[in-house]
Amino acid sequence: MLAAAGGVRAAQEIVTIPTRQGVTESYLVMRNPPSANPKAVMLAFVGIPGVVGLTGKQVPLGFGPGANTLLRMRNELVDADVVEVAVDAPSDKLPQGMSDEFRLGPDHATDIRAVIVDVKKRFPDARVFLVGHSRGTVSAAALGAQLGDAVQGVVLISSATNRDKQGPALSAFDFASIKVPVLLVHHRNDGCYTNPYSNVAALAKSFTLITVDGGDPPQSGPCDPQSAHGLYGRDAAVAQAIKGWMLGRDFPREIP
């Protein structure tokens, strides 16, 4: 059932499907208007621990300013042309969430392949994009390499490219293994050790990069959403640029 409420502009629906033996995967569909026949569906993967928190919940769900960037900017991302699908951790990775090793591995790909099949039944005319923020970029990049032409593009926002105490992130990932188009979005002053702008700037030789500057004063730590790492204060401009890239429209390479 689709539901919306005051302050929640995008209609929401929680979907749960079986994937691997004894495992289910839940995802939150957000669309505006509810009758939208989108041109693009973005599968959104959030950062550590990769948990959206859909189990046992009823729609509509509210997400505050401290939520992951992809959830915080949902109302800017969703319109008649774009549906956002926020993918939760699978049932066998709850409540602890997903490690980097799981995100990089075959079971994650099996789960998301099943999600894509289900999403395509709902939106048969839409192109599918994998979109990750922070540690969610480990999912989006790895899946982009493994799922082939089941998806039409990958968007990596505030990419996690340095190894840290949480795991390898994308430090050893072969970006050339992604054969579909890739968009990089990164704040020039991202202060999170795992996510330096310099690493992404080097990847811009091979992929399209949108560089973000400015924004609102940080209200969180440097690795949290309400900071340059989370593109805080740049939601509308960033969302518009990402949608432009996905839909084949003009978009800025710099957001000042």
pLDDT of residue 3: 53
**Does the N-terminal peptide bond of residue 256 adopt cis geometry, omega within 30 degrees of 0?**
no
pLDDT of residue 97: 98
List, for residues 22-35, the tens digit of each pLDDT value.
Answer: 999 999 999 999 98
pLDDT of residue 2: 52
Helices (H) and strands (E) in the chain, counts: 7, 10
Sign, Cα dihedral of 123, 121, 101, 24: positive
pLDDT of residue 230: 97
Report which DSSP code applies to 215: -
Q: What is the pTM of this model?
A: 0.96
The strands making up 8-18's β-sheet, listed across from edge to edge, are: 3-5, 8-18, 24-31, 82-87, 40-45, 127-133, 153-157, 182-187, 208-212, 254-255
Residue found under tokens 């990402």? 242
- What CATH number did the domain enclosing 91 receive? 3.40.50.1820
pLDDT of residue 10: 85
pLDDT of residue 6: 40
Low-confidence ranges of the chain (pLDDT < 50): 1, 4-7
pLDDT of residue 171: 98
List, for residues 63-114, the tens digit of each pLDDT value.
Answer: 988 899 999 999 999 999 999 999 999 999 999 999 999 999 999 999 999 9
pLDDT of residue 36: 83
List the one residue out of 236, 108, 130 whose CA is nearest residue 183: 130
Query: Are 156 and 238 in contact, with CB atoms under 8 Å apart?
Result: no
∠ CA 231-234-238 to the nearest 5 degrees?
90
- Gap between the terminal Cα atoms of the chain: 40
∠ CA 72-138-97 to the nearest 5 degrees?
70
pLDDT of residue 224: 96
Total structural domains within the chain? 1
Boundaries of domain holding 27: 3-255
